[in-house]
Amino acid sequence: MKARLRAAAAALILGGLFVGLLAGVRDLPPIGDPSSPASTHVSPRFIEEARRETGALNMVTAVLADYRGYDTLGETAVIFAAGLGAFVILAASIGGPRRETPGPGLSHRVDSLLLDTAARVLAPFLLLFAVYVLVHGHVSPGGGFQGGVLFGLGLVTLRLVWGPPRPDRAASRFGPGVRASFLLASAGLLAYIAIGIAAMAFGGAFLDYGVLPLGQDPAHVRELATLGVEAAVFVAVSGTVAVLFETIAVGVAETGRPLPNEDPAPVEAREEG
Amino acid sequence: MMLDPGGLIATGLLATMLVTGAVALLVNDLLVAAALFGVFSFAAAAWFAALGAVDVAFTEACVGGALTTILLVAATFRTTRRLDR
pLDDT tens digits, residue range A180-196? 888 999 999 999 999 99
Contact A102 B78 (CB under 8 A): yes
A69 or B79: whose pLDDT is higher?
A69
Q: Return the pLDDT at A160.
A: 77
| pLDDT confidence of residue B60 | 94
Domain ranges of chain B: 29-85
Select the residue of A141, A143, A245 nearest B70 (Cβ to Cβ).
A245
A171 DSSP assignment:
G
Task: For residue A255, give every residue at least 6 positions away whose Cβ sits within 8 Å of its Cβ, in sequence order, or none.
Answer: A164, A165, A177, A178, A179
Query: B63 — phi, psi (to 5°)?
Result: -80, -55
Specify burial of residue A269 (Cβ count, 10 A radius: 0-12, 13-18, 19+).
exposed
pLDDT along chain A (273 residues), means of 10: 90 95 86 81 86 84 88 94 88 53 51 83 93 89 91 87 56 62 92 92 87 85 90 94 84 45 43 38
For residue A233, the model assigns a pLDDT of 95
In angstroms, what separates the C-alpha of A76 from chain B's closest C-alpha?
Answer: 14
Contact B14, B46 (CB under 8 A): no
* Option in B55, B57, B71 nearest A248 (CB): B71
Determine the 3-state secondary structure of A166 from DSSP.
strand
Task: Put residue A128 in one of left, alpha, beta given phi > 0 → left and psi -120 to 50 → alpha.
Answer: alpha
Closest to A263 (Cα-Cα) out of A116, A101, A114: A101
Q: Check: CB of residue B57 under 8 Å from CB of residue B76.
A: no
User: Which of A46-50, B3-7, B53-57 comes out lowest in average pLDDT?
Assistant: B3-7
| Helical (H) or strand (E) element with A104 | none
Any A CB within 8 A of B82 CB: no
Using a CB-CB cut-off of 8 Å, the residues of chain A touching B78 are 98, 100, 102, 106, 248-249, 251
Return the pLDDT at A195: 92
CA distance A105 to chain B (A): 10
pLDDT of the residue at A54: 83
- A142 inside 8 A of chain B by CB: yes
Nearest residue, CB atoms, A106 vs list B59, B67, B77: B77
Q: How far is B72 from chain A (nearest CA, A)?
A: 9
Phi, psi of A169 (to 5 degrees): -135, 90
Report chain B residues whose CB lies below 8 A from the CB of A241. 67
- CA dihedral B10→A147→A47→A27, nearest 10 degrees, is 70
- In angstroms, the Cα distances linking B38 to A104, A155, A171, B14, B34 are 21, 20, 32, 14, 6
Residue A157 CB burial class (10 angstroms; 0-12, 13-18, ≥19): buried
Q: How far apart are CA A179 and CA A241, in angstroms?
A: 13
Judge whether A153 is closer than 8 Å to chain B, CB to CB: yes
What's the longest Cα–Cα distance across chain A?
79
Which residues, 6 or more positions from A192, have their beta carbon under 8 angstroms from its beta carbon?
A: A73, A76, A229, A232, A233, A236
One-letter identity of residue A111 = D
List pLDDT tens digits, range A62-105.
888 888 889 999 999 999 999 999 888 887 665 444 444 444 44
Rounded Cα gap, residues B7 and A68, in angstroms: 33
Which of B54, B70, B81 is nearest residue A141 as measured by Cβ atoms? B54
Record: contact B62-A60, CB cut-off 8 A: no
Residue B70 at interface with chain A, using a CB cutoff of 8 Å: yes
